[in-house]
Amino acid sequence: MSEWVKSERQVERERVRRSRARRSASIATASTIVFIVLVVWGITSSPGWPRVRETFFDGEQFVAALPDVLEGFLLNIRIFLISEVLILAIGLLVALARGIRTPAFFPIRALATLYTDVFRGVPTILVIYLIGFGLPALKLQGIPSDKATLGIIALTLSYGAYVAEVFRSGIESVHPSQVAAARSLGLSHLKTMRFVVVPQATRRVVPPLLNDFVSLQKDTALVATIGPLEALRQAQMHTFNTFDYTPYLAAALIFILLTIPMARLTDHLAARTRRRRGA
C-alpha cells in the first residue's frame, strides 16, 4: 500500500482554516491596538493629566513606598491565611447545624440561622470595630490584645456567615436520592453527611468559596481601622506624608498580584468540574 497522502480537498481545507485563523488573529490584534491607543490618548490628552500623572504615577514615590507597603502586606497575608482556615471550619459547622431537623436540636438550628442573618447583614467594618474596640473594652481576662488577632476574629465572624450559606447551598444541591440511598444502607444522619453529602457538596462549592476568599483578601485591609499597620495603611501614611497618591497604587498592585492567581485557580477548577461532568 502506498503511503497515505492528504487529499487535495483536505489540503485546501487546512489552508482555508489557517488563513481564517490568521485573519481573525490579525483583526483581534488590530482592534486591541486601536482600543488601547484610543483609551491612552483619551486619558493623556485630558487637561488634568499632568497633575494626575504627578499625583498617581510618580515613580519615585512608588519606589519609596514599596518596601513599607510590602512589609505591611505580610500582615495581610497572615490575617488572610489564618482566618481562611477558621472560616472554612465555622462555615461548614454552621451550614450543618442549619440542616439539623431533629426537634430537640431546634435551639442550635435557630442559633445558626440567627448567626448567618446577623453577620451577613452587618457591614464588615462595623464587626471589626465592635470586636476591635468592644471586646478589649470589656477588660476581661484572656481576651487577646493583639489587634491582628482581633481582626482575624472579626473577619472570621463576618465571612463565616457567607461561607456557611455557600456550604448550605452546596449541601442542598445534593439530590435527595443520595440521602435516601445512604439512609437505606443503614448510615446514620451524621455518617450520611460525612461520607455522602458533604464530599459532593464541597466539590460543587469550591468556585464560589474561592470567590469569597478573593474578597476576603481585599477585606483584610479593613483591619487597619483598629490599629495594625497593614499594606493599605502603610500606603495611606506615605500618601498623607507626601500628599501623593502613588503609594495607593503600589498597594493596589500588590493586592492584584495576589488575587489574580486565585482567580485563575477558580477558573481552572470550574473548568475541571465542567469537564468531569462531561459537558
Q: Minimum CB separation from another protein for residue 218, in Å?
A: 18
User: How does DSSP classify residue 5?
Assistant: -
- Cβ–Cβ under 8 Å, residues 237 and 225: no
Q: Is 19 in the site for another protein (CB under 8 A)?
A: no
How many residues are listed for the chain in this entry? Answer: 279
Total chain residues near another protein (CB under 8 A): 40
Round to whole Å and give the CA distance between 258 and 246.
19
Among positions 229, 258, 269, 270, the unique one binding another protein when judged by CB under 8 A: 229
**How many Å separate Cα 149 from the centre of its chain?**
20
Among positions 2, 9, 48, 141, the unique one binding another protein when judged by CB under 8 A: 48
Q: Is 242 in the site for another protein (CB under 8 A)?
A: yes
User: Does residue 118 come out as left (phi exceeding 0), alpha (psi in the -120 to 50 range) or beta?
Assistant: alpha
Q: Is 100 in the site for another protein (CB under 8 A)?
A: no
Q: Is 54 in the site for another protein (CB under 8 A)?
A: yes
Phi, psi of 80 (to 5 degrees): -65, -50
Among positions 25, 52, 81, 263, the unique one binding another protein when judged by CB under 8 A: 52
Count the Cβ atoms, other than its own, within 10 Å of residue 69. Answer: 26
Q: Minimum CB separation from another protein for residue 151, in Å?
A: 12
Q: Is 27 in the site for another protein (CB under 8 A)?
A: yes
Among positions 16, 19, 20, 42, the unique one binding another protein when judged by CB under 8 A: 42
From 15-23, 154-162, 205-213, 229-237, give the range in contact with another protein by CB under 8 A: 229-237
Three-state secondary structure readout of 61-92: HHHHHHHHHHHHHHHHHHHHHHHHHHHHHHHH
Q: Is 246 in the site for another protein (CB under 8 A)?
A: no
Q: Is 55 in the site for another protein (CB under 8 A)?
A: yes
- Cβ–Cβ under 8 Å, residues 225 and 128: yes
Among positions 21, 39, 111, 263, the unique one binding another protein when judged by CB under 8 A: 39
Q: Minimum CB separation from another protein for residue 236, in Å?
A: 6
In angstroms, the Cα distances linking 224 to 111, 121, 165 are 30, 21, 27
Round to whole Å and give the CA distance between 272 and 278.
10
Q: Which is nearer to another protein, 94 or 224 (CB)?
A: 224
At CA 219, angle to CA 111 and CA 137, rounded to 5? 60
Indicate the angle between helix axes 246-276 and 231-242, nearest 10 degrees. Answer: 150
Q: Which is nearer to another protein, 41 or 105 (CB)?
A: 41
Three-state secondary structure readout of 166-205: HHHHHHHHCCHHHHHHHHHCCCCHHHHHHHHHHHHHHHHH
**How many Å separate Cα 60 from the centre of its chain?**
31
Among positions 31, 178, 188, 215, the unique one binding another protein when judged by CB under 8 A: 31
Q: Which is nearer to another protein, 21 or 257 (CB)?
A: 21
Q: Is 130 in the site for another protein (CB under 8 A)?
A: no
Q: Is 33 in the site for another protein (CB under 8 A)?
A: no
The three cell numbers locating residue 18:
489557517
Q: Is 149 in the site for another protein (CB under 8 A)?
A: no
State the residues that interact with another protein by CB under 8 A: 27, 31, 34-35, 38-39, 41-43, 45-48, 51-52, 54-56, 133, 136-137, 139, 145, 147, 224-229, 233, 236-237, 239-245
